[in-house]
């Protein structure tokens, strides 16, 4: 029971006790007054009747005695009148039943009032001729007593309800700061800090509120310090300090991840010739200033887009991974960047006039990393020989037709509309748990004749033409229908990047989960970290809706970006799936494992579960257990086919 209810209950109990006391006093005083009134009336009646009936008793005229009794009995309000004749011991009695209109029988049966009575000797001269007994009728007294009782209850009851209402409002107002403290305590328990509480005027509550605010600030500061520490560690290991771009280690890990997951876009190598000679002639500071300016121009020309991964891998080399981009667009941007190096102020810094060369390899078909890097080096050599200093080529498929993006778009639209989809599901386990936490659903689009097109190209076309919303709606509809018949499986559905950018889709999804509230324990939603960083408004809208309806949700690919993890405080997912690059860091290099430990510890400070991904065998599983992961997912337990039209237990 809440404190508010306990206080109100005490007030009601106290009031009821007082009400009973007041009722009893009122009842008792009214009863005594009415009893005294009846006794007084009986004394007068007894004196009058004795004088009236005495002559008739002496003469033995029973007819007159009976007539006198009837006259007095009918003219008064008595329960019983009896006369005893001493000469014959005859008793003459008149009696009336106790029935009172407007008074319930149960009240009469309580026998609260004992009717008063009076007995007198009837004399004639010096002789006793009889005895008279008169018993008062309690009907009038009961009527008055009942009326007084009801009026008192109504008055005190109404007054009590008014007092309780006023007290409840006043108590609620006084305890409002305590309610805010309670809500803040729950938020702190969930590691959500929020704004400071307003300080109330009540001294005790003011002291508690100030203490809670100070504790919240301290916890918030500790989390931010740990988040900053992790960010600093990552910056030191993976960021080139002059330009702020990623370094070679960062490039290697992002290139591997890009080719494994997407492999669609353009890999660009920008080389600044004679940079060593320029450094020797103008110094380190001038060289670094030039690198900062070059980095600024690269950010400007490539719009500082989140889909562009920028790295500086050596003193003279910049490598970009321009995801989901066309060959022609990248070539134009590289030529635009080349115009900067033809300016007089740049040319004066170098003895060699051909200082800029840029090569690009468009990847939209399946190819291995070594082939792409080798082709990039060859293309750079060709770029140095060209007039513009720029050369961009495309990897051709090993066989078959090179599909245009329009052809891929049409094929995707047809596959989505006709549901040419198949599904697989892979369990996510928590350590020391034999039951899966949930099953992540993977979707495969079946399009004939497009085998040489990479998955990344399909995703790129889907995002470019905003097909993700229709694609996700198709899957979500099937998943909710499946959940209605599934008693055990919890399905985790990934929301695509393009769908998260679509506010209309977010509203559709909110309405869908409201209509399927009963599936809150059967469906989990996931979206990746890029969506959180770049579409925060839509993410907050969706998270607010899911929290309101108690649907769980998680964030995928956490830790891939250099951004601080502070966004987790506002989004506060139920779990995160750490980018598989961290898994590989632990497995390949023990020296880098402290990054993983720092990441997991920072996330755990918000009471959020951390899931390792791409775990391939039991040995890896045991090694990852040491680094604060709560669960795992990967080929250690491979995905199995899932028919969303038929319930299948794993």
Percent pLDDT > 70 in the chain is: 82
Residue 537: CB atoms within 10 A of its CB come to 9
- Res 330 pLDDT > 60: yes
Sign of the CA dihedral 47, 48, 53, 58? Answer: positive
DSSP 433-492: -SS-SEEEEEEEE--TT-TTB-HHHHHHHHHHTT-HHHHHHHHHHHHHHHHHH-SS--EE
Percent pLDDT > 90 in the chain is: 15
User: Three-class SS of residue 153?
Assistant: helix
Report in angstroms the alpha-carbon separations of 229 from 129, 221, 248. Answer: 118, 12, 22
- Res 232 pLDDT > 70: no
Residue that wins the pLDDT comparison between 72 and 293: 293
Per-residue pLDDT tens over the stretch 292-315: 888 888 888 887 556 788 999 888
Which pLDDT score is estimated for 646? 44
Residue that wins the pLDDT comparison between 588 and 471: 471
Mean pLDDT for 200-220 is: 75
Which pLDDT score is estimated for 511? 94
Per-residue pLDDT tens over the stretch 493-552: 999 888 998 999 999 999 999 999 999 899 999 998 888 888 889 999 999 999 999 999
Confidence of residue 235 (pLDDT cuts 50, 70, 90): low
Confidence of residue 645 (pLDDT cuts 50, 70, 90): low
Per-residue pLDDT tens over the stretch 447-479: 776 665 666 667 767 777 778 888 899 899 999
Q: Cα angle vertex 295, ends 289, 299, to 5°?
A: 145
- Res 586 pLDDT > 70: yes
Which pLDDT score is estimated for 274? 76
Three-state secondary structure readout of 607-647? CCEEEECCCCCHHHHHHHHHHCCCEECCCCCCCEEECCCCC
Which pLDDT score is estimated for 76? 59
10 Å CB burial of residue 633 (0-12, 13-18, 19+) is buried
Report whether 493 contacts 423 (CB < 8 A): no
Mean pLDDT for 427-454 is: 82
Per-residue pLDDT tens over the stretch 111-149: 676 777 777 777 766 777 778 877 776 666 777 777 877
- Helix (H), strand (E) counts: the chain: 23, 18
Which pLDDT score is estimated for 5? 72
Q: Which residues are CB-contacts of 378 (< 8 A; sequence separation ≥ 6)?
A: none
Which pLDDT score is estimated for 356? 87
**Sequence-ordered alpha helix ranges (H) in 76-123:** 105-109
């Amino acid at each position: 029971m809440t404190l508010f209810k306990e206080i109100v209950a005490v007030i009601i109990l106290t009031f009821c006790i007082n009400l009973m006391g007041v009722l009893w006093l009122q009842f008792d005083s009214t009863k005594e007054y009415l009893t005294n009134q009846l006794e007084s009336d009986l004394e007068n009646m007894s004196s009058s009747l004795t004088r009236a009936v005495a002559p008739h008793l002496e003469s033995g005229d029973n007819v007159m005695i009976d007539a006198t009794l009837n006259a007095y009995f009918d003219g008064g309000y008595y329960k019983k009148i009896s006369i005893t004749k001493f000469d014959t011991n005859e008793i003459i009695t008149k009696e009336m039943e106790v029935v009172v209109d407007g008074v319930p029988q149960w009240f009469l049966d309580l026998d609260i009032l004992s009717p008063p009575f009076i007995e007198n000797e009837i004399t004639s001269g010096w002789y006793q001729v009889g005895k008279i007994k008169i018993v008062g009728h309690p009907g009038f007294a009961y009527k008055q007593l009942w009326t007084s009782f009801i009026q008192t209850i109504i008055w005190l009851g109404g007054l009590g309800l008014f007092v309780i209402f006023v007290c409840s409002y006043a108590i609620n107002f006084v305890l409002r700061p305590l309610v805010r403290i309670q809500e803040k305590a729950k938020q702190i328990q969930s590691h959500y800090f929020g704004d400071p509480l307003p300080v109330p005027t009540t001294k005790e509550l003011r002291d508690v509120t100030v203490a809670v605010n100070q504790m919240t600030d301290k916890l918030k500061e500790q989390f931010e310090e740990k988040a900053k520490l992790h960010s600093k560690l990552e910056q030191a290991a993976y960021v080139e300090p002059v330009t702020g771009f990623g370094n070679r280690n960062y490039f290697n890990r992002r290139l591997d991840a890009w080719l494994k997951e997407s492999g669609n876009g353009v890999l660009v190598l920008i080389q600044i010739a004679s940079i060593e000679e320029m450094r020797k002639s103008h110094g380190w500071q001038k060289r670094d200033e030039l690198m900062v300016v070059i980095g600024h121009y690269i950010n400007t020309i490539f719009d500082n887009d989140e889909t562009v991964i920028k790295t500086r891998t050596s003193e003279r080399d910049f490598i970009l991974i321009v995801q989901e981009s066309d060959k022609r667009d990248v070539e134009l941007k590289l030529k635009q960047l080349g115009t900067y190096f033809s300016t007089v102020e740049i040319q004066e810094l170098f003895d060699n006039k051909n200082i800029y060369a840029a090569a690009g390899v468009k990847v939209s078909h399946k190819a291995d990393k070594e082939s792409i890097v080798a082709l990039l080096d060859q293309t750079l050599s060709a770029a140095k020989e060209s007039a513009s200093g720029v050369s961009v080529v495309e990897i051709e498929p090993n066989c078959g037709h090179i599909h245009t993006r329009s052809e891929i778009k049409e094929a995707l639209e047809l596959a989505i509309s006709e549901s040419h989809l198949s599904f697989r599901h892979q369990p996510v386990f928590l350590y020391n748990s034999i039951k899966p936490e949930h099953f992540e659903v993977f979707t495969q689009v079946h399009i004939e004749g497009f085998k040489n097109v990479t998955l990344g190209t399909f995703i790129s076309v889907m995002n470019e033409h905003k097909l993700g919303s229709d694609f996700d709606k198709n899957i979500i509809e099937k998943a909710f229908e499946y959940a209605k018949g599934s008693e055990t499986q919890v399905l985790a559905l990934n929301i695509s990047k393009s769908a998260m950018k679509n506010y209309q889709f977010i509203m559709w999804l909110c309405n869908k989960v409201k209509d399927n509230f009963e599936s809150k324990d059967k469906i989990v939603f996931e979206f990746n970290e890029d969506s959180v960083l770049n579409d925060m408004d839509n993410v907050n809208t969706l998270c607010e809706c899911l929290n309101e309806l108690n649907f769980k949700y998680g964030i995928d690919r956490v830790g891939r970006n250099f951004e601080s993890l502070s966004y987790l405080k506002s989004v506060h997912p139920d779990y995160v799936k750490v980018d598989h690059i961290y898994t590989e860091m632990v497995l390949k290099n023990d020296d880098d494992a402290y990054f993983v430990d720092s990441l997991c510890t920072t996330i755990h400070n918000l009471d959020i579960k951390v899931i390792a991904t791409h775990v391939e065998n039991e040995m890896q599983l045991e090694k990852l257990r040491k680094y604060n992961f709560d669960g795992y997912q990967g080929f250690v337990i491979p995905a199995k086919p899932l028919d969303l039209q038929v319930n299948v237990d794993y």
